[in-house]
Structure 1
C-alpha cells in the first residue's frame, strides 16, 4: 500500500481552525504537514494527532518551491498546498500554482489583503462603501479624519482579527491611535481611515461564488471591535438578507475572488444598505465553520480541503438547525488561575461544547482584539433564539479566575496584592 500523499499547510492560524484543518486532512486519507518558521506558536502541535512539522528559516516562495520539489517530488508526492492563515494564503496559492495544483488566484488574494484596495474597487463598482482615505503618517490620518468627519475607524490596511482596529471620536483619539499604528507597523506602514458605519453587523460565508449563509455578529464594548459571539444562520429580515447577498455577490466578482472560501463582514446602515467592512480570502474565523457544521451539516473545512486536492465540494445542507457561540473573556489582565464550573456549563440543555484556549498559569493580557478571547461555549437547537440563549447561559455559568498581576510596588518588595479576581466570562 502506497504512503499517503502530503497535504501541506503553509503556517496556520494559532487557534480555532488550524488544528481542525490538520485533523480533517488526516481523516481524508492525507498526511498533514505544517511548514512553519516558529512551531512554538501552535499549541495544538503538542496533541497526539498533530501534523508533521517542517521548520524553515523563512516563508519564501522560491525556497518553499525547492523544499517541496526535493522532499516530496512536487505534485507526485503532494496532494495540495494551502494555509489556514490569512497572512500566508497568497504564498500558498502561488506555490500550488507552480506545481499545477488547485488554488485561488494568488495575485487576486494578495491584492485583496490590502483593505484600501478593497475599498477602491468596491466603491468604483457601486457597492455601498463608507468614506475612506489611506494614509502614510499620523498627521495625514488626523487630516483625513477631520475631512471625513467623526467618528471614524482607524485600521491597518493589511490587518486581521480586529488587531489595531479602533473607533475614534475626536482628533486626540485619532492622533493617538494613528501614532500607535505607525509605530507598530514599521517602515512603509499604511493606515485606513474611514467613516464609522452604525448598524447591526453580519458576515456572509461564500464558497466559490456561492453564498452558504449569513452570520449575525455580536461585538464587545467600543471603541474596539472584539467579536463576542456569533449566531448562524442569522435570523434576519428578507430585505436585509437580499441586500447582504447582493453586496457580497457583486463584490466577489469585482475582486476576482471566485475560487474557494470567502468571509465577508458587513453592516446594515440606517438606509438599509449592506456596507462591506472588509472581505477575507479565507474561511471565517471565530469557529463560524463549526457553527455551519452544527447547524447545516456542511463541513466547510472538509469542503475547502476537497477543493484544494482537486475534488468537487459538497455544499448541500443535510439539516436545518441553528447554532450560536459565545466567547469567554478574562475579567482583566493577570495570571490565569482557573476555569471554574465548566462541567456545569457543558451539562446545560442544547450546549454542545465548552472549550478553553488557555491553561492555568498562562499570563493574560487585554489587547482589544481576538486575542482577548480565552474560550467559548457553543449551543445548537431547532430555533435561533433557543441556541443563542443556551450559549449565553453556558458562557455566564463558567467562572474565569485571574490572579491579580504583580504591581511595580510589589516588585520592589512591598506587601503583595490581594489574592485573585473572578467573574463570569
Structure 2
C-alpha cells in the first residue's frame, strides 16, 4: 500500500507545489484536497491526485480521508497556507497523526487573541485595540494616536491592511472594510494598531529552533506589498540573540513549538517588537532563500515531522540569498510578460517564476496579488547577490493595457 501525504488546500504563489515536490522526493504520494484544485500552483504537477472537496467542512474532509485510507497508507496530513492549516491540524488529531495543537493554531490565527496572549506574557509589541464598528475604529485610532494600522482581525497576505495617517484615512479604510467591498472570512472585527516604525525582520522557526532570521522591505505606503527579502539579515550577535529570544517567548505564550512558525518584527527605538506570529512556514520564496542561504530545507523538514520522522536542521553552508518580487505598476490587462529565460540564465540566479498569465486582469488592492512573479539569487556575498538580482530583474519586462474608461466603453 502506497504511503500518501495529504495536503489540504493550496497556495497560488509556489509553496503548494514545493510541498508536492518534496513529498515525491521522500517517496510519498501527494494527494491534494481543495475546493477548486485548478486555482492552485500544484494542479498541473505530475503524478498528483487532486480531489475536489469543501475544505471548510471538517466532516466532509474526514469522510474523504477515511475513503482514501482504503487505498493508501496515510503517513501525514498538513497544509501550506493559513486558511487550511487549522483544519489540517484537526484532521491530524482525528486520525491520530503527528501535528500541531489545533487550539493553539486557531487562537494564533485570530490576531486579537494572539495580541492578548502575547501581551499577557510580556512580549514587546505595538499598542492595539479591537473594534467592531466605525465609531469604535475612530475612537481606537484617537486613543493610540495617528498614524495607525487598520486591518481585519483575521486574515493574511496583507489583505485589507492599510496605514492610516489621518482621521479621514481611518474613516475611508473602515468604510472599505465594512462597506461590502472587502470579503470577510468571519464576523467583521477590526484591529487598530500603533504603527511600529523600523527595519523589518522575519524569524523562521521549526519546532523550538530559530533556523534563520532574514530582512525584507515593502512598497510605498499606505499598503504593505512585499517587495523582497534577504537571508541572512545583517545583524550583530546581540541583535540576533534579542530577536531569537523574543521568538521563543512567542512560542511559549501561544502554545506553539511543533512544526513551523514564522514571526515578523520591526526593530524600533525600543528594540524588536512583534508584528505578527504565523503558525506555518512563510510563503514562497522564503523557503527557497533559507535553503540557498543555509542548506536547510524547511519544507522537507516540515513533512518529515508530519509523517513522524526526525528532521535535519543542520546548516550545510553560508551564502546570501535575496528575492525580488515583480509588482504590477498599474491596473489593466496583462498583455505579455517575458524575459524569464534570459533572467534565469544569469549566473547566480536560482529561480525565476511568473504567477500571472497573459490576458489576466490586474486589479491592484495593495496585497500579495499585486505581484506578477519573483526572482531569487544567491552568492557568497550580499553586494554580489544584489548585483546578480538587479541584472536579472532588468531583463524582465511586461505590458499592461489600462482598462477602458466608462467613456471609451460607451463609444464602442
Fold-level similarity (TM above 0.5):
yes
Asked if 1:180 is matched to 2:176, the reply is: yes
Asked if 1:138 is matched to 2:134, the reply is: yes
Instruction: Please give the alpha-carbon distance, in whole angstroms, between the structure 1 residues aligned to 2:341 and 2:8.
Output: 36
Unaligned runs of 5+ in 1: 415-425
The equivalent of 1:66 in structure 2 is 63
The equivalent of 1:209 in structure 2 is 208
The equivalent of 1:420 in structure 2 is none
Aligned ranges 1:117-266 → 2 under 5 Å: 117-183=113-179, 184-186=182-184, 188-266=187-265
How big is each residue's C-alpha offset from its partner over 1:182-234, in whole Å with a ceiling of 9 and x where there is no partner? 23255721111010000000100011010001010111111111110010111
Among 398, 405, 408, the residue aligned to 1:407: 405
Higher mean Cα deviation, 396-405 or 188-197? Answer: 396-405
Q: Confirm or deny: 8 A CA contact 1:12 1:83 kept in the other structure.
A: yes
Q: Confirm or deny: 8 A CA contact 1:14 1:43 kept in the other structure.
A: yes
Q: Confirm or deny: 8 A CA contact 1:324 1:380 kept in the other structure.
A: yes
Q: Aligned with 2:394: secondary structure?
A: helix
Aligned ranges 1:248-287 → 2 under 5 Å: 248-271=247-270, 273-287=271-285
Residues 345, 71 of structure 1: alpha-carbon distance in 2 compared, 3 angstrom cutoff: closer
Give the CA deviation at 1:344. 3.2
Q: Confirm or deny: 8 A CA contact 2:333 2:401 kept in the other structure.
A: yes
Q: Confirm or deny: 8 A CA contact 1:235 1:384 kept in the other structure.
A: no
How big is each residue's C-alpha offset from its partner over 1:4-55, in whole Å with a ceiling of 9 and x where there is no partner? 22211111122221111112111211111111112232244134x1621111
Asked if 1:29 is matched to 2:27, the reply is: yes
TM-score relative to the length of structure 2: 0.95
Instruction: Please give the alpha-carbon distance, in whole angstroms, between the structure 1 residues aligned to 2:355 and 2:327.
Output: 11
Instruction: Please give the alpha-carbon distance, in whole angstroms, between the structure 2 residues aligned to 1:261 and 1:71.
Output: 26
The equivalent of 1:421 in structure 2 is none
Q: Confirm or deny: 8 A CA contact 1:139 1:175 kept in the other structure.
A: no
Aligned ranges 1:59-98 → 2 under 5 Å: 59-73=56-70, 77-98=73-94
Among 385, 389, 394, the residue aligned to 1:391: 389
Aligned ranges 1:345-384 → 2 under 5 Å: 345-384=343-382
Higher mean Cα deviation, 315-324 or 354-363? Answer: 354-363
Aligned pairs, number? 409
Residues 116, 282 of structure 1: alpha-carbon distance in 2 compared, 3 angstrom cutoff: same
Instruction: Please give the alpha-carbon distance, in whole angstroms, between the structure 2 residues aligned to 1:342 and 1:14.
Output: 19
Residues 139, 78 of structure 1: alpha-carbon distance in 2 compared, 3 angstrom cutoff: same
Instruction: Please give the alpha-carbon distance, in whole angstroms, between the structure 2 residues aligned to 1:264 and 1:399.
Output: 33
Give the CA deviation at 1:343. 3.2
Instruction: Please give the alpha-carbon distance, in whole angstroms, between the structure 1 residues aligned to 2:394 and 2:198.
Output: 26
Q: What CA RMSD, in Å, does the superposition of the two structures yield over aligned residues?
A: 1.6
Instruction: Please give the alpha-carbon distance, in whole angstroms, between the structure 2 residues aligned to 1:136 and 1:8.
Output: 37
Q: Confirm or deny: 8 A CA contact 2:10 2:41 kept in the other structure.
A: no
Asked if 1:289 is matched to 2:287, the reply is: yes
Instruction: Please give the alpha-carbon distance, in whole angstroms, between the structure 2 residues aligned to 1:375 and 1:323.
Output: 17
Q: Confirm or deny: 8 A CA contact 2:33 2:55 kept in the other structure.
A: no
Instruction: Please give the alpha-carbon distance, in whole angstroms, between the structure 1 residues aligned to 2:262 and 2:394.
Output: 28
Instruction: Please give the alpha-carbon distance, in whole angstroms, between the structure 1 residues aligned to 2:381 and 2:373.
Output: 24
Q: Confirm or deny: 8 A CA contact 2:8 2:55 kept in the other structure.
A: no
How big is each residue's C-alpha offset from its partner over 1:376-409, in whole Å with a ceiling of 9 and x where there is no partner? 1111001122213322332233112112322222
